Protein backbone atom coordinates (compact mmCIF):
# COMPACT_ATOMS: atom_id res chain seq x y z
CA UNK A 1 0.00 0.00 0.00
CA UNK A 2 1.05 3.59 -0.59
CA UNK A 3 1.63 5.80 2.43
CA UNK A 4 -1.72 7.56 2.21
CA UNK A 5 -3.49 4.19 2.32
CA UNK A 6 -1.29 2.87 5.13
CA UNK A 7 -2.33 5.86 7.24
CA UNK A 8 -5.94 4.68 7.01
CA UNK A 9 -5.64 0.88 6.95
CA UNK A 10 -2.13 -0.09 8.10
CA UNK A 11 -1.77 -2.73 10.79
CA UNK A 12 -5.45 -3.71 11.03
CA UNK A 13 -7.98 -6.03 9.42
CA UNK A 14 -11.64 -6.01 10.50
CA UNK A 15 -12.07 -7.86 13.77
CA UNK A 16 -12.70 -11.55 12.96
CA UNK A 17 -15.26 -11.98 15.75
CA UNK A 18 -17.37 -8.85 15.38
CA UNK A 19 -16.37 -7.46 11.99
CA UNK A 20 -15.56 -4.10 13.59
CA UNK A 21 -13.93 -1.81 11.05
CA UNK A 22 -12.69 0.73 13.61
CA UNK A 23 -9.81 -0.49 15.76
CA UNK A 24 -11.26 -1.74 19.07
CA UNK A 25 -10.07 -0.20 22.34
CA UNK A 26 -8.76 -3.11 24.36
CA UNK A 27 -9.22 -1.51 27.78
CA UNK A 28 -7.78 -4.41 29.74
CA UNK A 29 -4.82 -4.82 32.06
CA UNK A 30 -4.12 -8.51 31.56
CA UNK A 31 -4.85 -11.48 29.27
CA UNK A 32 -5.86 -15.04 30.13
CA UNK A 33 -3.43 -17.88 29.46
CA UNK A 34 -4.57 -21.20 28.04
CA UNK A 35 -2.37 -23.05 30.50
CA UNK A 36 0.77 -22.75 32.59
CA UNK A 37 2.73 -23.93 29.56
CA UNK A 38 1.15 -21.21 27.39
CA UNK A 39 1.96 -18.55 29.98
CA UNK A 40 5.56 -19.72 30.19
CA UNK A 41 5.91 -19.63 26.39
CA UNK A 42 4.65 -16.05 26.32
CA UNK A 43 7.05 -14.93 29.03
CA UNK A 44 9.89 -16.76 27.30
CA UNK A 45 9.01 -14.82 24.10
CA UNK A 46 8.57 -18.16 22.36
CA UNK A 47 4.89 -17.61 21.51
CA UNK A 48 3.05 -14.65 20.01
CA UNK A 49 0.42 -13.07 22.21
CA UNK A 50 -0.32 -10.70 25.05
CA UNK A 51 0.54 -10.96 28.73
CA UNK A 52 0.06 -7.61 30.42
CA UNK A 53 -0.79 -4.17 29.01
CA UNK A 54 2.29 -2.54 30.46
CA UNK A 55 4.24 -4.62 27.94
CA UNK A 56 1.87 -4.79 24.96
CA UNK A 57 -1.77 -4.21 24.05
CA UNK A 58 -3.70 -5.05 20.86
CA UNK A 59 -4.82 -1.45 20.25
CA UNK A 60 -1.30 -0.17 20.72
CA UNK A 61 0.00 -2.91 18.46
CA UNK A 62 -2.05 -1.54 15.55
CA UNK A 63 -0.64 1.93 16.17
CA UNK A 64 2.90 0.54 16.29
CA UNK A 65 2.49 -1.44 13.08
CA UNK A 66 0.91 1.51 11.28
CA UNK A 67 3.64 4.00 12.18
CA UNK A 68 6.40 1.45 11.49
CA UNK A 69 4.94 0.90 8.02
CA UNK A 70 4.59 4.64 7.40
CA UNK A 71 8.26 5.16 8.29
CA UNK A 72 9.52 2.09 6.45
CA UNK A 73 10.65 0.38 9.66
CA UNK A 74 10.40 -3.22 10.81
CA UNK A 75 8.87 -2.66 14.26
CA UNK A 76 7.94 0.07 16.72
CA UNK A 77 7.23 0.72 20.39
CA UNK A 78 4.57 3.21 21.51
CA UNK A 79 4.92 5.01 24.84
CA UNK A 80 3.22 7.75 26.85
CA UNK A 81 4.95 10.81 25.35
CA UNK A 82 7.53 11.91 22.81
CA UNK A 83 10.05 12.62 25.55
CA UNK A 84 9.62 9.10 26.92
CA UNK A 85 10.20 7.76 23.41
CA UNK A 86 13.42 9.74 23.01
CA UNK A 87 14.67 8.79 26.48
CA UNK A 88 14.12 5.09 25.79
CA UNK A 89 15.66 5.37 22.32
CA UNK A 90 18.90 6.80 23.74
CA UNK A 91 19.09 4.57 26.81
CA UNK A 92 18.71 1.52 24.61
CA UNK A 93 22.07 2.19 22.94
CA UNK A 94 24.16 3.99 25.57
CA UNK A 95 25.51 2.88 28.93
CA UNK A 96 27.32 4.69 31.73
CA UNK A 97 30.69 5.99 30.56
CA UNK A 98 29.53 6.36 26.94
CA UNK A 99 28.22 9.34 25.01
CA UNK A 100 25.68 10.54 22.48
CA UNK A 101 26.76 13.01 19.77
CA UNK A 102 24.06 15.52 18.86
CA UNK A 103 23.55 18.53 16.64
CA UNK A 104 23.16 21.72 18.74
CA UNK A 105 19.72 22.76 17.40
CA UNK A 106 17.27 20.93 19.63
CA UNK A 107 13.90 21.25 21.28
CA UNK A 108 14.43 22.72 24.75
CA UNK A 109 13.43 19.67 26.79
CA UNK A 110 15.52 17.42 24.55
CA UNK A 111 18.52 19.64 25.26
CA UNK A 112 17.79 19.33 28.98
CA UNK A 113 17.64 15.53 28.69
CA UNK A 114 20.99 15.37 26.94
CA UNK A 115 22.84 18.12 28.78
CA UNK A 116 21.59 17.59 32.32
CA UNK A 117 19.64 14.38 32.97
CA UNK A 118 21.54 11.70 31.04
CA UNK A 119 24.89 12.84 32.56
CA UNK A 120 23.45 12.05 36.00
CA UNK A 121 23.21 8.45 34.75
CA UNK A 122 26.75 8.52 33.41
CA UNK A 123 25.81 9.11 29.75
CA UNK A 124 27.37 12.26 28.35
CA UNK A 125 26.22 14.47 25.50
CA UNK A 126 28.70 15.84 23.00
CA UNK A 127 27.14 18.76 21.11
CA UNK A 128 28.69 19.34 17.69
CA UNK A 129 29.79 22.84 16.74
CA UNK A 130 27.01 22.92 14.13
CA UNK A 131 24.62 20.60 12.33
CA UNK A 132 27.05 20.19 9.44
CA UNK A 133 28.04 16.52 8.97
CA UNK A 134 31.77 17.26 9.25
CA UNK A 135 31.29 18.97 12.62
CA UNK A 136 29.11 16.12 13.86
CA UNK A 137 31.69 13.52 12.80
CA UNK A 138 34.46 15.48 14.51
CA UNK A 139 32.63 15.02 17.84
CA UNK A 140 32.44 11.20 17.56
CA UNK A 141 34.96 9.21 19.58
CA UNK A 142 35.47 5.65 20.74
CA UNK A 143 32.84 6.01 23.47
CA UNK A 144 30.10 7.32 21.17
CA UNK A 145 27.08 5.07 20.93
CA UNK A 146 24.77 7.07 18.64
CA UNK A 147 24.43 10.23 16.59
CA UNK A 148 21.22 12.18 17.15
CA UNK A 149 19.44 14.93 15.27
CA UNK A 150 16.00 16.33 14.59
CA UNK A 151 15.13 15.99 10.89
CA UNK A 152 13.65 19.48 11.10
CA UNK A 153 14.86 21.36 14.15
CA UNK A 154 12.37 22.75 16.65
CA UNK A 155 12.30 25.74 16.77
CA UNK A 156 15.43 26.51 14.73
CA UNK A 157 13.94 25.22 11.48
CA UNK A 158 17.25 23.73 10.34
CA UNK A 159 17.09 20.60 8.20
CA UNK A 160 19.43 17.71 8.87
CA UNK A 161 21.52 16.49 5.96
CA UNK A 162 20.66 12.89 6.70
CA UNK A 163 22.67 10.97 4.12
CA UNK A 164 26.13 12.27 5.15
CA UNK A 165 25.12 12.18 8.82
CA UNK A 166 24.20 8.51 8.49
CA UNK A 167 27.42 7.80 6.60
CA UNK A 168 29.47 9.50 9.31
CA UNK A 169 27.73 7.53 12.07
CA UNK A 170 28.14 4.25 10.23
CA UNK A 171 31.83 4.86 9.56
CA UNK A 172 32.27 4.81 13.33
CA UNK A 173 29.97 1.82 13.88
CA UNK A 174 27.08 3.67 15.56
CA UNK A 175 23.44 4.24 14.57
CA UNK A 176 21.80 7.49 13.51
CA UNK A 177 18.73 8.33 15.62
CA UNK A 178 16.37 10.93 14.12
CA UNK A 179 13.45 12.78 15.71
CA UNK A 180 11.00 13.12 12.79
CA UNK A 181 8.20 14.86 14.70
CA UNK A 182 8.07 18.07 12.64
CA UNK A 183 8.48 16.57 9.16
CA UNK A 184 6.34 13.45 9.70
CA UNK A 185 6.51 10.56 7.23
CA UNK A 186 4.23 12.62 4.99
CA UNK A 187 7.19 14.82 4.00
CA UNK A 188 10.22 12.72 4.96
CA UNK A 189 11.14 9.14 5.88
CA UNK A 190 14.60 9.27 7.51
CA UNK A 191 15.11 5.51 7.18
CA UNK A 192 15.04 5.93 3.40
CA UNK A 193 18.09 8.21 3.77
CA UNK A 194 20.18 6.01 6.06
CA UNK A 195 18.74 6.62 9.53
CA UNK A 196 18.52 3.57 11.79
CA UNK A 197 15.99 4.66 14.41
CA UNK A 198 13.16 7.21 14.17
CA UNK A 199 11.42 8.90 17.09
CA UNK A 200 8.12 10.79 17.12
CA UNK A 201 6.11 12.83 19.50
CA UNK A 202 2.75 11.55 18.26
CA UNK A 203 1.21 14.36 20.30
CA UNK A 204 2.03 16.74 17.44
CA UNK A 205 1.21 16.38 13.72
CA UNK A 206 0.49 12.66 13.79
CA UNK A 207 -2.30 12.97 16.37
CA UNK A 208 -3.00 16.41 15.00
CA UNK A 209 -5.78 17.64 17.25
CA UNK A 210 -4.11 18.63 20.51
CA UNK A 211 -6.01 16.05 22.52
CA UNK A 212 -3.67 13.13 23.15
CA UNK A 213 -0.12 12.62 24.42
CA UNK A 214 1.96 9.85 22.90
CA UNK A 215 5.35 8.90 21.54
CA UNK A 216 6.83 6.14 19.42
CA UNK A 217 10.23 4.68 18.52
CA UNK A 218 10.56 3.03 15.10
CA UNK A 219 13.24 0.42 14.48
CA UNK A 220 14.60 0.64 10.94
CA UNK A 221 15.92 -2.92 11.21
CA UNK A 222 19.09 -2.16 9.27
CA UNK A 223 21.77 -1.59 11.88
CA UNK A 224 23.91 -4.69 12.33
CA UNK A 225 24.07 -4.96 16.13
CA UNK A 226 25.73 -8.38 15.92
CA UNK A 227 28.63 -6.94 13.94
CA UNK A 228 29.41 -4.48 16.73
CA UNK A 229 29.43 -6.83 19.69
CA UNK A 230 32.02 -4.99 21.75
CA UNK A 231 30.34 -1.63 21.27
CA UNK A 232 26.82 -2.94 21.97
CA UNK A 233 27.07 -5.85 24.41
CA UNK A 234 23.47 -5.31 25.52
CA UNK A 235 22.31 -6.78 22.19
CA UNK A 236 24.92 -9.48 21.84
CA UNK A 237 25.47 -10.93 25.30
CA UNK A 238 22.99 -12.82 27.51
CA UNK A 239 20.62 -10.53 29.40
CA UNK A 240 20.75 -11.64 33.03
CA UNK A 241 17.49 -9.78 33.74
CA UNK A 242 15.66 -11.82 31.10
CA UNK A 243 16.79 -15.43 31.59
CA UNK A 244 19.91 -15.08 29.46
CA UNK A 245 18.17 -13.92 26.27
CA UNK A 246 20.50 -12.64 23.51
CA UNK A 247 18.47 -10.07 21.58
CA UNK A 248 20.42 -10.05 18.33
CA UNK A 249 20.18 -13.85 18.11
CA UNK A 250 16.56 -14.22 19.16
CA UNK A 251 15.03 -11.28 17.28
CA UNK A 252 17.37 -10.59 14.38
CA UNK A 253 16.34 -7.40 12.56
CA UNK A 254 13.88 -6.37 15.31
CA UNK A 255 16.39 -6.73 18.17
CA UNK A 256 16.43 -3.01 18.95
CA UNK A 257 12.65 -2.70 19.29
CA UNK A 258 12.40 -5.96 21.23
CA UNK A 259 14.93 -4.79 23.80
CA UNK A 260 13.10 -1.46 24.15
CA UNK A 261 9.96 -3.37 25.10
CA UNK A 262 11.53 -6.06 27.27
CA UNK A 263 13.93 -3.84 29.20
CA UNK A 264 12.59 -0.29 29.31
CA UNK A 265 8.83 -0.44 28.88
CA UNK A 266 8.50 -3.58 30.99
CA UNK A 267 10.58 -2.24 33.88
CA UNK A 268 10.01 1.53 33.84
CA UNK A 269 6.48 1.60 32.43
CA UNK A 270 6.00 4.77 30.34
CA UNK A 271 2.84 3.13 29.02
CA UNK A 272 0.56 4.61 26.35
CA UNK A 273 -3.07 3.90 27.26
CA UNK A 274 -5.13 2.00 24.68
CA UNK A 275 -7.63 4.87 24.56
CA UNK A 276 -4.79 7.23 23.66
CA UNK A 277 -3.58 4.79 21.01
CA UNK A 278 -7.09 4.74 19.53
CA UNK A 279 -7.29 8.55 19.43
CA UNK A 280 -3.85 8.81 17.84
CA UNK A 281 -4.94 6.33 15.16
CA UNK A 282 -7.89 8.60 14.35
CA UNK A 283 -5.49 11.49 13.85
CA UNK A 284 -3.12 9.49 11.67
CA UNK A 285 -5.96 8.61 9.28
CA UNK A 286 -6.11 12.26 8.18
CA UNK A 287 -2.43 13.23 8.53
CA UNK A 288 -1.71 13.37 4.80
CA UNK A 289 -4.66 15.67 4.11
CA UNK A 290 -3.84 17.90 7.07
CA UNK A 291 -0.12 18.25 6.36
CA UNK A 292 -0.86 19.27 2.78
CA UNK A 293 -3.03 22.13 4.08
CA UNK A 294 -0.50 23.02 6.79
CA UNK A 295 2.22 23.36 4.16
CA UNK A 296 0.07 25.49 1.82
CA UNK A 297 -0.94 27.89 4.60
CA UNK A 298 2.59 28.17 5.94
CA UNK A 299 3.93 29.43 2.62
CA UNK A 300 1.28 32.15 2.49
CA UNK A 301 2.06 33.16 6.07
CA UNK A 302 5.82 33.21 5.43
CA UNK A 303 5.37 35.41 2.35
CA UNK A 304 3.15 37.82 4.29
CA UNK A 305 5.68 38.14 7.11
CA UNK A 306 8.64 38.51 4.79
CA UNK A 307 7.07 41.53 3.07
CA UNK A 308 6.07 43.28 6.32
CA UNK A 309 8.24 46.12 7.70
CA UNK A 310 7.07 45.29 11.24
CA UNK A 311 9.01 42.02 11.00
CA UNK A 312 12.81 42.00 11.23
CA UNK A 313 13.43 38.53 9.79
CA UNK A 314 11.70 35.31 8.78
CA UNK A 315 13.25 31.84 8.99
CA UNK A 316 11.38 29.68 6.50
CA UNK A 317 13.26 26.98 4.65
CA UNK A 318 10.93 27.25 1.66
CA UNK A 319 12.55 30.51 0.53
CA UNK A 320 15.24 30.08 -2.12
CA UNK A 321 17.71 32.24 -0.17
CA UNK A 322 17.39 30.14 2.99
CA UNK A 323 20.58 28.09 3.60
CA UNK A 324 18.49 24.95 4.06
CA UNK A 325 16.50 25.40 0.85
CA UNK A 326 18.59 22.80 -1.06
CA UNK A 327 17.83 20.25 1.66
CA UNK A 328 14.10 21.01 1.33
CA UNK A 329 14.43 19.95 -2.29
CA UNK A 330 16.56 16.90 -1.44
CA UNK A 331 14.63 15.48 1.50
CA UNK A 332 11.18 17.14 1.67
CA UNK A 333 10.21 17.06 -1.98
CA UNK A 334 10.31 20.85 -2.12
CA UNK A 335 7.66 21.24 0.59
CA UNK A 336 8.88 23.26 3.55
CA UNK A 337 7.29 22.37 6.88
CA UNK A 338 4.58 24.47 8.52
CA UNK A 339 6.78 25.26 11.52
CA UNK A 340 8.51 28.62 11.01
CA UNK A 341 10.01 31.38 13.10
CA UNK A 342 10.27 35.14 12.74
CA UNK A 343 11.45 38.16 14.69
CA UNK A 344 9.15 41.03 15.60
CA UNK A 345 10.66 44.52 15.68
CA UNK A 346 11.40 45.63 19.22
CA UNK A 347 13.36 42.70 20.64
CA UNK A 348 12.06 40.74 23.61
CA UNK A 349 9.44 43.40 24.41
CA UNK A 350 8.20 43.48 20.84
CA UNK A 351 8.00 39.69 20.75
CA UNK A 352 5.99 39.47 23.95
CA UNK A 353 3.64 42.31 22.91
CA UNK A 354 2.91 40.47 19.67
CA UNK A 355 2.42 37.22 21.56
CA UNK A 356 0.00 38.77 24.04
CA UNK A 357 -2.09 40.34 21.26
CA UNK A 358 -2.83 37.13 19.36
CA UNK A 359 -6.48 36.06 19.28
CA UNK A 360 -7.23 33.35 16.72
CA UNK A 361 -3.69 31.93 16.97
CA UNK A 362 -3.41 30.21 20.32
CA UNK A 363 -0.57 30.89 22.78
CA UNK A 364 0.85 27.58 23.95
CA UNK A 365 3.87 25.28 23.65
CA UNK A 366 2.39 22.53 21.48
CA UNK A 367 2.81 22.30 17.71
CA UNK A 368 1.31 20.29 14.87
CA UNK A 369 -2.29 20.93 15.92
CA UNK A 370 -5.02 21.57 13.34
CA UNK A 371 -5.23 25.00 14.99
CA UNK A 372 -2.58 27.67 14.44
CA UNK A 373 -0.33 27.90 17.47
CA UNK A 374 2.33 30.36 18.60
CA UNK A 375 5.17 30.10 21.08
CA UNK A 376 7.68 32.64 22.39
CA UNK A 377 10.60 30.22 23.00
CA UNK A 378 12.80 32.64 24.98
CA UNK A 379 10.16 32.88 27.71
CA UNK A 380 8.84 29.29 27.57
CA UNK A 381 10.39 26.19 25.98
CA UNK A 382 14.00 27.46 26.14
CA UNK A 383 13.69 29.71 29.19
CA UNK A 384 15.89 27.44 31.31
CA UNK A 385 18.87 27.90 28.95
CA UNK A 386 21.45 30.69 29.31
CA UNK A 387 21.29 33.26 26.46
CA UNK A 388 24.36 31.90 24.68
CA UNK A 389 22.98 28.35 24.74
CA UNK A 390 19.63 29.66 23.48
CA UNK A 391 21.36 31.26 20.51
CA UNK A 392 23.24 28.04 19.74
CA UNK A 393 19.86 26.32 19.65
CA UNK A 394 18.57 29.00 17.24
CA UNK A 395 16.53 30.97 19.78
CA UNK A 396 16.67 34.78 19.97
CA UNK A 397 14.79 37.15 22.34
CA UNK A 398 12.36 38.44 19.70
CA UNK A 399 11.64 35.07 18.10
CA UNK A 400 8.11 33.81 17.62
CA UNK A 401 7.57 30.18 16.62
CA UNK A 402 4.46 29.61 14.52
CA UNK A 403 2.87 26.26 13.88
CA UNK A 404 0.56 27.21 11.04
CA UNK A 405 -2.80 25.44 11.19
CA UNK A 406 -5.45 24.46 8.68
CA UNK A 407 -7.87 27.36 9.18
CA UNK A 408 -8.67 29.67 6.26
CA UNK A 409 -5.41 31.42 5.60
CA UNK A 410 -6.99 34.88 5.40
CA UNK A 411 -8.17 34.57 9.00
CA UNK A 412 -4.67 33.54 10.11
CA UNK A 413 -3.16 36.53 8.31
CA UNK A 414 -5.69 38.94 9.79
CA UNK A 415 -4.78 37.85 13.31
CA UNK A 416 -1.06 38.15 12.66
CA UNK A 417 -1.62 41.62 11.17
CA UNK A 418 -3.47 43.00 14.20
CA UNK A 419 -0.93 41.45 16.61
CA UNK A 420 1.95 43.05 14.70
CA UNK A 421 0.19 46.41 15.01
CA UNK A 422 -0.07 45.89 18.76
CA UNK A 423 3.60 44.93 18.95
CA UNK A 424 5.09 47.90 17.11
CA UNK A 425 2.58 50.70 17.87
CA UNK A 426 4.13 51.51 21.28
CA UNK A 427 7.55 51.66 19.65
CA UNK A 428 6.35 54.04 16.92
CA UNK A 429 4.56 56.18 19.54
CA UNK A 430 7.79 56.43 21.52
CA UNK A 431 9.74 57.37 18.37
CA UNK A 432 7.20 60.08 17.52
CA UNK A 433 7.34 61.45 21.06
CA UNK A 434 11.11 61.73 20.95
CA UNK A 435 10.88 63.45 17.54
CA UNK A 436 8.37 66.04 18.85
CA UNK A 437 10.50 66.69 21.95
Same domain (yes/no): 156, 240: yes
pLDDT (mean) for 33-47: 90
Does residue 435 have a pLDDT over 50? no
pLDDT digits (tens, 9 = 90+) for 3-14: 999 999 999 999
CB atoms inside a 10 Å sphere around CB 154: 29
Domain of residue 332, CATH code: 3.90.1150.10
Q: Are 152 and 337 in contact (CB under 8 A)?
A: yes
pLDDT digits (tens, 9 = 90+) for 192-227: 999 999 999 999 999 999 999 999 999 999 999 999
Looking at the chain, the whole-number percentage of residues with pLDDT higher than 70 is 95
What phi and psi, each to the nearest 5 degrees, are found at residue 199?
A: -120, 145
CB contact set of 417 (below 8 Å; sequence gap of 6+):
none
347: left (phi over 0), alpha (psi -120 to 50) or beta: left
Name the domain boundary from 237, 267, 283.
283
Same domain (yes/no): 277, 344: no
Calpha distance 383→397 (Å, rounded): 10
Which of 334, 399, 401 is CA-nearest to residue 372?
401
Does residue 314 have a pLDDT over 60? yes
Same domain (yes/no): 258, 338: no
CB atoms inside a 10 Å sphere around CB 122: 12
CB contact set of 366 (below 8 Å; sequence gap of 6+):
203, 204, 210, 373, 403
Res 436: pLDDT: 40
Same domain (yes/no): 274, 303: no
- Print the domain residue range for 307: 287-436
Same domain (yes/no): 173, 149: yes
Give the mean pLDDT of the chain. Answer: 93
Same domain (yes/no): 215, 71: yes
Q: What angle do CA 129, 381, 403 make, to 5 degrees?
A: 95
Q: How many domains does the chain have?
A: 2
Looking at the chain, the whole-number percentage of residues with pLDDT higher than 90 is 86
pLDDT digits (tens, 9 = 90+) for 346-374: 988 999 999 999 999 999 989 999 999 99
Burial class (CB in 10 A: 0-12, 13-18, 19+), 296: middle
What phi and psi, each to the nearest 5 degrees, are found at residue 401?
A: -100, 125
Domain of residue 198, CATH code: 3.40.640.10
Q: Which of 77-81, 273-277, 432-436 has the lowest mean pLDDT?
A: 432-436
Res 433: pLDDT: 44
Name the domain boundary from 233, 259, 283.
283
Does residue 331 have a pLDDT over 80? yes
Res 397: pLDDT: 85
Does residue 92 have a pLDDT over 60? yes
Query: Using the 8-state DSSP alphabet, how is residue 379 labeled?
Result: G
Same domain (yes/no): 332, 256: no
Same domain (yes/no): 271, 311: no
Name the domain boundary from 283, 312, 332.
283
Same domain (yes/no): 129, 158: yes
- Which string of DSSP letters, residue by residue, matches 4-60? HHHHHHTT----TTT--SSPP----SB---SSHHHHHHHHTT-S-S-SBTTT--HHH
Can you name the residues that pair with 181 across neighbouring β-strands?
none
Q: Are 268 and 79 in contact (CB under 8 A)?
A: no
Same domain (yes/no): 295, 352: yes
Same domain (yes/no): 31, 130: yes
pLDDT (mean) for 109-136: 96
Q: Are 338 and 407 in contact (CB under 8 A)?
A: no
Whether the pTM exceeds 0.95: the reply is no
pLDDT (mean) for 314-343: 97
Same domain (yes/no): 247, 330: no
Res 200: pLDDT: 98
pLDDT digits (tens, 9 = 90+) for 135-187: 999 999 999 999 999 999 998 899 999 999 999 999 999 999 999 999 999 99
Res 422: pLDDT: 95
> pLDDT class for 43, splitting at 50, 70, 90?
confident
Amino acid sequence: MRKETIAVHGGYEPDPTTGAVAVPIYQTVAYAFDSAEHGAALFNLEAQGYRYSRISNPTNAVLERRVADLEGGVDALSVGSGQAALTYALLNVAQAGRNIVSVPQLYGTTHTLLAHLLPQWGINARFAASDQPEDVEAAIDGDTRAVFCESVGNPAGNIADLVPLAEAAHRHGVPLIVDNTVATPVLLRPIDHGADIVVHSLTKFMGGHGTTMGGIVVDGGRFAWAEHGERFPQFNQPDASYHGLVYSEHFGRTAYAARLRSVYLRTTGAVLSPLSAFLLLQGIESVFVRVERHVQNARRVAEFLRNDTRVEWVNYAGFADNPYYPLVQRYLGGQACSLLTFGVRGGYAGGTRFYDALSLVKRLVNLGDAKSLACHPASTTHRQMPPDVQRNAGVTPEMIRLSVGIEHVDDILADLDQALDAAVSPMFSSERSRHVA
